[in-house]
A and B are shown apart, each in its own frame.
Chain A
């Protein structure tokens, strides 16, 4: 009776209570990081890698995202309950895979942003010596902003996907567990 219709299932039913708690933490982390990356003066400060500790902050974000990435990797390898309707398992696996790819790409963009900021800071520190330097400063500045914004969009998408996996109050716990 519990398995009478696939609409009784939710992807979150595949997660234990402990994993749901972790999922809430993941959503919070994604939300917090993407909020910090909203275009504004904060980003300008972030670009001053050594002066304002921007590098440390970005590396902290990368570290937090890296932990989420590893957790998702473990989750991907975890076998699903065998008697689960295929569509549910498939949707769940696809969601995890999507969040996993989004976070991997977000980290890639943060790393590239650090590269842009390093070059920006290097030219500024040496003092502008040629017309080319001014152009490079502007290009690196623009690329930094682009990479940070791209990362923010990816994190927003990941957050949206992760929220879907979150257990709504109205949805019962894992029906397969109860049945078994």
Chain B
């Protein structure tokens, strides 16, 4: 009897997982939309990127703290989400460094830095999209 109830609990977990992380998925969707190529990217400044990093770090923390009750599939999904989020954070930190650097440079160098800046935002978005794919 107890085994039966435990197995039906197992079946319910994917739904719980989706429900619990619904808000996180919505946040990732919003970040993904904000990073779509367009003029908004031109207006990205340190404050916006810092808020992205904070949001991502919070999601990562939640994903890591989640109890998967030995459900390997969910644990793997969570681990992929976490790894993609960490990669996205790294890209945004790099983007922040690039913004800091460009103040002291000649136009030709600024151009190079800008290209890398946009590439970093694009990579960050790619990792966010990969994380999103792991959501049920």
A107 and B114 CA atoms in complex are apart in Å by: 13
CB-CB contacts of A100-136 with B at 8 A, as 1s and 0s?
Answer: 0001100110011011100100000000000000001
Partner of A63, one of B38, B41, B108, B110: B38
On whether the beta carbons of A119 and B107 are closer than 8 Å, the reply is: yes
Residue of A65, A104, A108 with most chain B CB atoms under a 10 A cut-off: A108
On whether the beta carbons of A111 and B111 are closer than 8 Å, the reply is: no
On whether the beta carbons of B115 and A112 are closer than 8 Å, the reply is: yes
Interface size on B, residues (CB 8 A): 15
A108 and B115 CA atoms in complex are apart in Å by: 8
Query: A-side binding surface: helix, strand, loop or mixed?
Result: helix
On whether the beta carbons of A62 and B38 are closer than 8 Å, the reply is: yes
A62 and B37 CA atoms in complex are apart in Å by: 8
Residues of A within 8 A of B (CB): 59, 62-63, 65-66, 69-70, 103-104, 107-108, 111-112, 114-116, 119, 136, 139-140, 143
* Beyond A69-B37, A107-B37, A115-B42, 11 additional pairs, beta carbon < 8 A: A63-B38, A63-B39, A107-B38, A108-B115, A108-B122, A114-B42, A115-B110, A116-B107, A119-B107, A139-B108, A140-B107
